[in-house]
Amino acid sequence: MEDHTIDNFGEENEGYIKIDRYNTVKTRSISNHYTDILSQLGENPQREGLIKTPERVAKALQYLTHGYDLDPAKILRSAMFKEDYSQMVVVKDIEVYSMCEHHMLPFFGKAHIAYIPNGHIVGLSKIPRVVDAFARRLQVQERLTNEIRDCIQETLQPAGVAVVIECQHMCMAMRGIQKQNSVTTTSAFTGEFAHDRTRAEFLRLITANLH
């Protein structure tokens, strides 16, 4: 019988799980593979600095991909409220950390998200949680952008959703073309944000310094 023991922690709360949360079977299996990988790279997995590295990597990978265990729509539904408000709601500068599925190297940056309520609003903390739920998977930035947009649109049924993500990709900075300062921007819109005026207002708000 497979051991599903969870090490350290973990508290389930309205659709999301607080991490750290590790499956002991997965940790052991991934660790064994990384011990072999270290040997294949010409390292000695038994030297002092590397003895615990396979286990650390196994736990890090589980953390970095724990979004597979989350239900982003459930996160939103846990804090939906009826409200007669129909102006734009913007949450900007949401930190994004994800892993490129092509080379399993990080990409990171910021997400800017807006929606126009149509009878319901959502607790503001749930929008960054939705970003994390999709980002903590093996990803490409283009798909990540669309998944966030579609989840908010389908769950809240607002008059429109706007998502802009700006990220630096380590697969471009550390290898390949090695351009350290390049930034990739992706965007996705629905509903009212398809109109130039509404989209322009959103873009103005996310670039304005309102502090």
Structure tokens at 146: 């669309």
43, 120, 166, 171: the catalytic one is 171
83, 102, 157, 195: the catalytic one is 102
Q: In whole angstroms, how far apart are CA 176 and each of 58, 104, 110, 182?
A: 26, 14, 23, 13
Q: Is 103 a catalytic residue?
A: yes
82 - beta bridge partners? 120
Q: Is 167 a catalytic residue?
A: no
66, 100, 151, 153: the catalytic one is 100
Q: Is 171 a catalytic residue?
A: yes
Q: Is 211 a catalytic residue?
A: no
Query: Alpha-carbon distance 83 to 119, whole Å?
Result: 6
Query: Alpha-carbon distance 189 to 120, whole Å?
Result: 19
Run of H or E including 132: helix 126-135
Query: Alpha-carbon distance 59 to 23, whole Å?
Result: 9
103, 120, 168, 201: the catalytic one is 103
14, 83, 95, 101: the catalytic one is 101
Q: Is 48 a catalytic residue?
A: no
141, 147, 151, 153: the catalytic one is 141
Positive or negative, the Cα torsion across 187, 193, 194, 199? negative
Positive or negative, the Cα torsion across 106, 107, 112, 118? negative
Q: Is 120 a catalytic residue?
A: no
- Name the residues annotated as catalytic: 100-103, 141, 169, 171
